[in-house]
Amino acid sequence: MLCVVWQLQSAPGGEIEHRRSPIVVAVERARPAIVNIHGEKTVTSEGKTAGGGDVARRVNGMGTGVILDPRGYIVTNYHVVEGVKKITVTTADRQSYVAELVSHDAQTDLAVIKIDVREALPVIAIGASYDLMPGETVVAVGNAFGYEHTVTQGIVSALHRTVQVSDAQSYEDLIQTDASINPGNSGGPLLNIDGEMIGINVAVRAGAQGIGFAIPTDKALVTVADLLSIRRLKHTWHGVVARPAEADAQGVVVESVDPDSPAAKAGIKPGDVIKSVDEQSVARALDLERLLLERREGDEIGIKIGRDEEPLAVDLVLAAAPQLQQEPADPVWDLLGLELQPIPNKQFQRQFRTRYRGGLTVTDVRSESPAAKQGIRPGDVLVGMHIWETISLENVRYVLNRPDFASLEPLKFYILRENEPQTLYGFLTVSSNQRR
């Protein structure tokens, strides 16, 4: 009796298609734009960043980031990169880069970092968070416990949650999810079933399983737009305050226009809808800032707008930005190039366990200023100049307005920086033609 033996073979690449669930497709779509972040920071035994000579130790940190711009701009949580001296970014294709901290906002715990790349990077698809539904399927991707590109699935458990994670940090209006979010997931995306980022993973509930939180994209990207604003980073100016258009509408609505700004001179008015910048479409305020980042003062930008449902084309010429939060006659900005903000005493003592009584946070540094040339950067805390402490702005102005100021040059300064265990110092030189 003869037997026939059947040998079954899978058709190349064809038999697995039925396993390509929407979750698989969503992850495949988003994964190339998700990066892993590693670094070291100095902390004290109580877990606070060291300062003022405290005994400190180096610890490894990890987190996740999302590529927002093909030139290498990445969004993550500020606590992932806070105090990190060398931020290492690994992309999905296993390429490693050293990133620069571009801008941050401690209150919302968001930061933008940048890597220098030769070729354009894949960018995350961004979805809306305003219409999320409890019970909706979501996916978290991140560097969980150092396991890169870990994927977890869950649902939207609740919306508009307020979470207090420490004495110094709380979050409002968060998405709650039961998709597993672990240490290292911070800064990574929460995706919808279409593979669009609808949240930025930010926190877990200690001692609880299946409870994680994410910042909604509609809220997060408002902050990120400010972090990437050309006024903040390039000191150029367009003069538009924009808000998202109605659902399913293309472009951003001009909410207001600064008087005498480039936008006002171009004829842009409140109520106009900006559709594109130099033929590149605009979907949110972040796009407006991104598309102008590499442009310079005096560049002419082609803007397409809608007004009363009629298309219009205008030319906007970028200009130098007016000084922010500083009076023109303020010597702190004019002479040193520093914008300073007082720190409440309790916050200072909590942040820096040091002998200093207080200090001033550096919130902005003017390009090519004496402060910039000495490497002072936003986030540093100025605690002294020459022999005087700098607890208030009046302390700094007292030094700069002294009749014998010329004899003090180069002016020694002292700063605290959260990734350095010791007080840093340097010397500021103010040329005579800068002084009034």
Q: Which of 380, 376, 387, 378 has the alpha carbon at shortest distance from 359? A: 380
- B/e letters for 383-416, b = 16+ CB within 10 Å, e = fewer, are bbbeeeebbeeebbeebbeeeebeebeebebbbb
Four-CA torsion 220, 222, 228, 231, nearest 10 degrees = -150
Q: Which of 54, 109, 287, 380 is catalytic?
A: 109
* Residue 22 to residue 155: CA distance in whole angstroms: 14
Q: Is 386 a catalytic residue?
A: no
- Annotation says 109 is catalytic: yes
Q: Which CA distances in Å does 112 have to 36, 99, 169, 228? A: 14, 10, 19, 8
Locus of tokens 């970014």: 89
CB-count burial class (<10 Å; 0-12, 13-18, 19+) for 282: buried
Alpha-carbon distance values, 402 to 337, 369, 384, 405 (Å)? 18, 20, 16, 5
Q: Which amino acid is at 67?
A: I
Is residue 250 within 8 Å of residue 281, measured between CB atoms? yes
Which amino acid is residue 15, in one-letter code? E
What distance in Å separates the CA atoms of residue 270 and residue 306, rounded to the nearest whole number? 11
Chain centroid to Cα 312, Å, comes to 33
What is the per-residue DSSP string for 6-45? P---PPTTTTTGGG--HHHHHHHHHGGGEEEEEEEEEE-T
**CB-based contact 254:238 (threshold 8 Å):** no
Please give the full DSSP string across 364-391, using - where no structure is assigned: EE-TTSHHHHTT--TT-EEEEETTEE-S
Type of residue found at 361: T
User: Catalytic residue among 103, 129, 180, 186, which?
Assistant: 186
Active-site position among 79, 229, 287, 380: 79
Q: Which of 40, 80, 86 minimizes the C-alpha distance to 59?
A: 40
The catalytic residue positions are 79, 109, 186
